[in-house]
Amino acid sequence: MTDRPAAQDGLKAELLAVALEAAHRAGELLRDGRPDDLGVAATKSSAVDVVTEMDIASEKLITDFFADRRPDDGVLGEEGASFEGSSGIQWVVDPIDGTVNYLYGRPDWAVSIAARAGGETLVGVVHAPVRGETFRAVLGRGAYVNDRPARVRAAPPFDQALIGTGFGYVAQRRAHQAEVARELLPRVRDIRRGGSAAIDLCDVAAGRLDAYYERGLNPWDFAAGDLVAREAGARTGGRPGETLSTELTVAGPPGLFEQLQTFLDERGAWHD
């Protein structure tokens, strides 16, 4: 008779090892191989949302690594490297989360890799090479920053909360997001805009932000960071009663999470 818990633990350990190695290899390529004349290979949602040459190179490195180590797995990748597998495992990959930061030589960018099965994320890795940090989480096993346990801050009063957010690149969406932020700003300690959703979610996990929200994220933006945040004690979701999604992503400690989620829902932060 198969020991299912032991087999599941073994699978998670294998997936974590693969994710960590892939993320570090891609991070090394991106950090050390960034050309001085970095070009734009295409555009994403608008003319100011860029896809760099290195974005594409990073995703190819990661998917080639998966093909060698776990050839039967599927992949959902930001830059189009998406295919079904036969193993039941799907890798969700953002080869550079924070592309504009990377393009401008700013430090807040990361390689984000998650492994999920049956709609549940089992492993998440967010590797931020310039910051010298790797965030990792395994479902049911906690979250870590490098080798240190990560834990969210206890919920402060709403008016003392430091809130992270991000903005889309389409003008109509940005205008409404700015209006929501304008209403939120006088009610909290302050707002931060880092430029990488994966890092922002991990910064909630590490207690560097009290909470975070954003509209317009895709699964590759939040899959790994969401698990890291939850395993560090955060609650995550979208609109009240819903999971986090492209409409809205919210993360924070119990108590603050619900207040922020309600505030955002009442002000229509989930639509343009």
Q: Which residues are annotated as a binding site for Mg(2+)?
A: 78, 94, 96-97, 221
184 pLDDT more than 90: yes
- Where would I find the H helices in the chain? 4-33, 53-69, 99-104, 171-184, 197-205, 219-231, 256-266
Q: Please name which of 69, 57, 53, 59 lies closest in space to residue 15, comparing C-alpha atoms.
A: 69
**pLDDT average, residue stretch 186-195:** 98
Contact status, residue 136 vs residue 149, Cβ threshold 8 Å: no
Please count the other Cβ atoms lying within 10 Å of the Cβ belonging to residue 132.
8
Classify burial at 47, counting beta carbons within 10 Å of its beta carbon; exposed 0-12, middle 13-18, buried 19 or more. Answer: exposed
**pLDDT average, residue stretch 52-73:** 95
**pLDDT average, residue stretch 61-72:** 98
2 pLDDT more than 70: no
Output the pTM of the full model: 0.95
**pLDDT average, residue stretch 50-63:** 90
Rounded to 5 degrees, what angle do the CA atoms 195, 27, 222 make? 45
Domains of the chain: residue spans and CATH: 4-149 (3.30.540.10), 158-266 (3.40.190.80)
State residue 42's pLDDT score: 75
State residue 48's pLDDT score: 65
Helix (H) or strand (E) holding 264: helix 256-266
